[in-house]
């Protein structure tokens, strides 16, 4: 059986996911939710989507009466994830939601709760958890190849263009670079180190307050401390191209990845040699595995559910707090 998916939000990433899903053996695009009729028509033709599986943002609650859709993949601007997840859950459909799962931990908690109460799964589009070289580094770390882990560095950024886009609008984005790209270093620090951070310090710099308005962060540096004594040093920015690097070091060796979270291929090496697992389109593998998780209940320790998305939001809330206070802030993950 296939996971029958409707995509909500036919923008640039929605388009990428749809194209990747064509090659998925377990998930199939069968429906769309969009506010733009011309896009719906184009997608219907391209993906052979029947009229009865097409919805807009006003009427998509009716998806509850559609037995031919199992899950909705929400790929809209960040601020919409929370209200849309609540509506999809109320319609009794599984939710796959893009990162960041919501604007803050309060919203994230409500989403986890709503999906639990509705008896539907909530997964977050953390595609790196399915990427072969990333998984190889995690496997090596678990096997002790790096000895005791001591340090992680995560650098995540790109140079953002058009100043009018939603990513630079606090209401729709919930913040700036941290919400959009810094989150890769937040989530990455957790899976590369294999522990949850217990404190954070953070500093913000802003070189262009016209483009990056109040509440929209341009660059934030942040540092984590982990229970075992591991420390991490990370940077999130909207002002540097090609900033996409993870570095993990232990008492016996290291792993470095650059690019580490881009669409791939992911490249890098460890003290033992190159990371050379073949590249497969991330979103194709992600959809295959998410279909298994949803349909077969196979969670196999893949940390991409709502609770994981919520942990990142709690950490990001605490990073923003640490920027304000200038103090070392405790991260309370429960
Ligand atoms: P986008 O601007 O290209 O697409 C957003 C879509 O939402 C557009 O089609 C737009 O018409 C629609 N939309 C619906 N209601 C809207 C409203 N009120 N205001 C503005 N647009 C509205 O953005 P995108 O790059 O596709 O990003 C969408 C989501 O996907 C974001 O949450 C982003 O963080 C996430 N994303 C994830 C990855 C990844 O690798 N996992 C990559 C890119 C984007």
Catalytic option among 55, 73, 93, 99: 99
Rounded-to-integer distance, Cα 238 and Cα 168, Å: 10
**Is the pLDDT confidence value at 108 over 70?**
yes
CA of 36 from ligand 1 middle (Å) equals 14
**Is the pLDDT confidence value at 328 over 90?**
yes
Asked if residue 287 is part of any domain, the answer here is no
238 noted as active-site residue:
no
Burial class (CB in 10 A: 0-12, 13-18, 19+), 236: buried
* The pLDDT of residue 334: 79
CA of 165 from ligand 1 middle (Å) equals 10
Kindly provide the ipTM of the predicted complex, given to two decimals. Answer: 0.99
Does one domain contain both 167 and 31?
no
Please indicate whether residue 35, judged by its CB atom, sits closer than 6 Å to ligand 1. Answer: yes
Mean pLDDT within 140-146: 98
Q: Is 305 helix (H, G, I), strand (E, B) or coil?
A: strand
* The pLDDT of residue 194: 98
Boundary residue ending a domain (70, 105, 126): 126
Structure confidence at residue 221 as a pLDDT band (50, 70, 90):
very high
Smallest CA separation from ligand 1 atom 21, residue: 77
CA of 173 from ligand 1 middle (Å) equals 10
Distance of CA 160 to the CA centre of its chain: 18
Please indicate whether residue 125, judged by its CB atom, sits closer than 6 Å to ligand 1. Answer: yes
- The pair of structure tokens assigned to 229 is 């004594």
Asked if residue 36 is part of any domain, the answer here is yes
**Is the pLDDT confidence value at 47 over 70?**
yes
Does one domain contain both 120 and 146?
no
* The pLDDT of residue 299: 65
Contacts of 296 (CB under 8 A, 6+ apart): none
Boundary residue ending a domain (102, 126, 150): 126
CATH code for the domain of 96? 3.40.50.720
User: Which of 8, 10, 13 should be mutated for ligand 1, with most atoms under 8 A from CB?
Assistant: 13
Asked if residue 298 is part of any domain, the answer here is no
Does one domain contain both 99 and 133?
no
Structural domains of the chain, count: 2
Please indicate whether residue 176, judged by its CB atom, sits closer than 6 Å to ligand 1. Answer: no
Does one domain contain both 141 and 102?
no
Which pLDDT tens digit goes with each residue over 276-312? Answer: 999 999 999 999 999 999 998 876 678 999 999 999 9
Which DSSP symbol is given to 303? Answer: -
Rounded-to-integer distance, Cα 6 and Cα 55, Å: 9
Mean pLDDT within 209-236: 98
CA of 147 from ligand 1 middle (Å) equals 40
Give the residue numbers spanning the domain of 246: 128-279+304-330
Rounded-to-integer distance, Cα 30 and Cα 70, Å: 10
39 noted as active-site residue:
no
CATH code for the domain of 232? 3.30.360.10
Asked if residue 299 is part of any domain, the answer here is no
Contacts of 19 (CB under 8 A, 6+ apart): none
Answer whether 128's CB lies under 8 Å from 156's CB. Answer: no
% of the chain exceeding 90 in pLDDT = 97
Which pLDDT tens digit goes with each residue over 54-78? Answer: 999 999 999 999 999 999 999 999 9
Please indicate whether residue 75, judged by its CB atom, sits closer than 6 Å to ligand 1. Answer: yes
């Amino acid at each position: 059986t296939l996971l029958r998916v409707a995509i909500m939000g036919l923008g640039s990433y929605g388009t990428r996911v749809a194209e990747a899903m064509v090659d998925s053996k377990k998930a199939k695009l069968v429906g769309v939710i969009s506010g733009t009729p011309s896009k719906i028509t184009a997608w219907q033709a391209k993906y052979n989507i029947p009229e009865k599986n097409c919805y807009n943002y006003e009427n998509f609650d009716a998806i509850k009466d559609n037995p031919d859709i199992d899950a909705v993949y929400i790929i809209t601007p960040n601020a919409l994830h929370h209200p849309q997840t609540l509506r999809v859950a109320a319609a009794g459909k599984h939710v796959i939601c893009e990162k960041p799962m919501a604007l803050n931990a309060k919203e994230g908690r409500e989403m986890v709760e709503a999906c639990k109460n509705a008896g539907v799964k909530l997964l977050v589009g953390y595609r790196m958890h399915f990427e072969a070289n990333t998984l190889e580094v995690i496997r090596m770390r678990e096997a002790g190849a790096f000895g005791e882990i001591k340090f992680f560095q995560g650098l995540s950024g790109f140079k953002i263009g058009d100043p009018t886009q939603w990513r630079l609008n606090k209401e729709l984005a919930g913040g700036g670079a941290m919400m959009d790209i810094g989150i890769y270093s937040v989530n990455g620090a957790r899976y590369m180190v294999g522990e949850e951070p217990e404190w954070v310090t953070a500093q913000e710099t802003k070189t262009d307050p016209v483009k990056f308005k109040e509440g929209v962060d341009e660059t934030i540096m942040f540092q984590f401390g982990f229970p075992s004594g591991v420390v991490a040093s990370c940077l999130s920015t909207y002002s540097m191209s090609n900033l996409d690097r993870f570095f993990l070091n232990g008492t016996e060796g290291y792993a470095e990845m650059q690019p580490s979270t881009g669409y791939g291929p992911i490249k890098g090496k460890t003290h033992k040699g190159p990371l050379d697992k073949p590249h497969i389109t991330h979103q194709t593998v992600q959809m295959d595995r998410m279909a298994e998780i949803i349909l077969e209940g196979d969670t196999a320790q893949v940390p991409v559910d709502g609770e994981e998305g919520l942990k990142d939001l709690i950490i990001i809330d605490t990073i923003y707090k640490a920027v304000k206070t200038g103090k070392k802030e405790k991260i309370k993950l429960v």
